A = this chain, B = another copy of it.
Amino acid sequence: MNNENETITLDDENVYNKVLLDDLLLQNHIDEFRTEFLTMHTYEQSEYFEDSEDEIRQRIFEVLSPEEVANFFDQLEIDEEEYEALFDTMNASYASHVLEDMSYDNAVDIMNNLSKQKIVSLLTLMNKDDAKEIKALLHYEEDTAGGIMTTEYISLKATMPVKEALMHVKEQAPDAETIYVIFAVNDDKQLVGVLSLRDLIIAENDAYIEDIMSERVISANVADDQEDVAQKMRDYDFIAMPVVDYQDHLLGIITIDDILDVIDEEASEDYSRLAGVSDVDATNDSVTKTALKRLPWLIILTFLGMITATILGSFEDTLSQVALLAAFIPIISGMSGNSGTQSLAVSVRNISTGEIDEQSKFKVALRETGSGFLSGLVCAAILLMIIIVLYQQPILGLIVASSLTIAMTVGTLVGSMIPLVMNKLNIDPAVASGPFITTINDIVSMLIYFGLATSFMSYLL
C-alpha cells in the first residue's frame, strides 16, 4: 500500500478500511496494524478512532505510543461529556504523555472537559515545562483569544540577522504550531513586528529582521472575543494572529485551523437560534434528550401561545357573529411571522458578522420595515381580490387586507428591531430566536386583526 502512488480524490468516501484495521488489531497483527494506521492522515486516524467502540480504542492505546496518539488527538472531535470516560481508560502516565505531546491549545481544549481532580493529577505527571504552559493556558476563558491561542509560536528578536533567523526557524520548526508567520519582539518581549517565512526566505542574506518585518501588526488582546478574532483573521486573510496583553507582550498565537472551528461554531449558533433549537449539530442525542433540550423553549412558547388564545377568546362574541373571520387567522399570523423571521435573520446576521456599523444596522432595520409595508400591500391586494371572488365579502376582504398590511409592517419592525435593541442593552440575543419573534408577532397581529374586525363589526353583519 505504501510503495505505490495513491492519489485520493474527494469521491473516495472511505479513505480507510475500518474492517481491515479492526481485524488486524483484534487478531494481534500489531505490526501490520501500525503500518496501515500510521500511513493514514491524522484526520483519518481520528475519524477511525471516533468510529470505534471502547474495545478497539483500548487496543489502540496498547499498541500506539503516546506521541502517535497525540498526533491524531489534535484533530479528535467527540462529545464533551465523553472525554472524562475516555481518559479513564488510559493509565494516568500515558494520558499525561498524550496531552503534553499534543499542541498546547488542543490539549487545553480537551482538559477543559475533564474534572478538576483529573486535571491536577495529569498536570503533576507531565514534564515541568509542558505543565507550566498548559496550566497558564487553562486560566483563560474558553471563548476568548486566550482560550484558543497556543504558545508554540516562533518569535525572534527584531535585531537578529536574517541568516541567523533562518537557522532559528529550522530549529524550532518541529515544535511550532506554524512556522509560516514569525513574530518580532524587543528586549522586553513586546511585539514589535511581524513577517512571513516567505519574507524571510526572499530577503537578502545581510538584512536584519527589523529591515524586512512589517511594523503595523494587527494583534488580538488576550481577552478579546473569539468571534472578533475570527472576523479579523478572515478579513485580513491571516493564517496566524498574535495575541498580546495590555502592554503588548506577546502571549501566544491563534492559527487559521482554530478559526475555522470558531466560524463553524458561530454560524451554527446563529442558525440554531433562528430555528429555536439549542444545538443543531448534536446528532447523537437520543429521542428523550432531544425532546428535553427543546422542551424549555416549547413550554415557554406554549404559555406565550396561551396569551394569543386568551386575546382571541376575549373576541368570542365577534367570532361567533362572523365565524369566517377565523379562517384568516393563520394567514395573517403566518405572514406576519414569516416576514418577522426574514428581518430577524438579516438583523442577527448583521450583528454577528459585524460588517456594518451601529447606525447602519438601524438603517437596515428601517429599510426592512419599509419593505415589510410594501410587500404587505402587494400581498394584501392579492388577498382582497381572492376574498371578493370567493366569498363576495368586500368589507371582510378590506379588514383582512388592512390587517395583513399592518401585521406584516409591524412584524418586520419587531423582527429587525428586537435583536438590535437587545444587543444594545447587552442582553443575550439568544432570546430573540425565530419562534419567539413568531409568537410575539402572533399576539400583535391578532390584536390588530380582531381590533379592526370588532370596530367595523356593524359593516360585517
- A-side residues, CB < 8 A to B, are 2, 4-11, 15, 39-41, 43, 75, 169-170, 173-174, 179-180, 191-193, 197-198, 201-202, 215-221, 224, 228-229, 232, 234-237, 239, 244, 248, 256-257, 260, 263-264, 267-268, 270-272, 274-277, 280-281, 283, 285-288, 290-291, 294-295, 298-299, 301-303, 305-306, 308-310, 312-313, 316-317, 319-320, 323-331, 333-335, 337-339, 341-342, 344-346, 349-350, 353, 355-356, 360, 364, 367-368, 370-372, 374-375, 378-379, 382-383, 386, 390-391, 434-435, 438-439, 442, 446
Contacts and interface: CB of A to CB of B under 8 A. Distances in A.
Contact of A434 (B237, B283, B341): B341
Contacts of A291: 370-372, 374-375, 378
B280 A345 contact: yes
Contacts of A360: 283
Contact of A217 (B7, B260, B350): B7
Contact of A355 (B283, B298, B328, B349): B283
A325 B312 CA distance: 10
Contact of A442 (B7, B323, B334, B368): B334
Nearest to A288: B374
A236 to B, nearest CB: 5
A274 B274 contact: yes
The 7 A-B pairs of least Cβ separation, nearest first, read A275-B345, A305-B331, A326-B326, A320-B323, A267-B267, A312-B327, A287-B370
A354 B434 CA distance: 25
Given A302-B382, A442-B330, A346 B8 contact: no
A275 B274 contact: yes
Given A217-B7, A276-B338, A319 B326 contact: yes
Contacts of A218: 8-9, 15, 41
A334 B201 contact: no
A295 B378 contact: yes
Copies per assembly: 2
A11 B326 CA distance: 53
A381 to B, nearest CB: 10
Contact of A301 (B271, B335, B439): B335
A346 B280 contact: yes
A367 B287 CA distance: 5
Contacts of A180: 180, 197
B215 A2 contact: yes
Given A281-B349, A313-B324, 18 more contacts: A5-B215, A10-B224, A10-B228, A40-B216, A41-B216, A41-B236, A179-B201, A260-B263, A271-B271, A275-B342, A283-B356, A287-B371, A294-B342, A298-B378, A299-B382, A309-B327, A312-B330, A326-B329
A32 to B, nearest CB: 17
A313 B387 CA distance: 11
Q: Which of A202, A256, A291, A353 has the most CB of B within 10 A?
A: A291
A390 B311 CA distance: 13
A330 B15 CA distance: 50
B294 A306 contact: no
Contacts of A324: 313, 316, 319
A299 B264 CA distance: 33
A330 B308 contact: yes
A5 B319 CA distance: 74
Nearest to A363: B283
Nearest to A318: B323
B275 A337 contact: no
A298 B364 CA distance: 20
Contacts of A439: 334
A169 B84 CA distance: 46
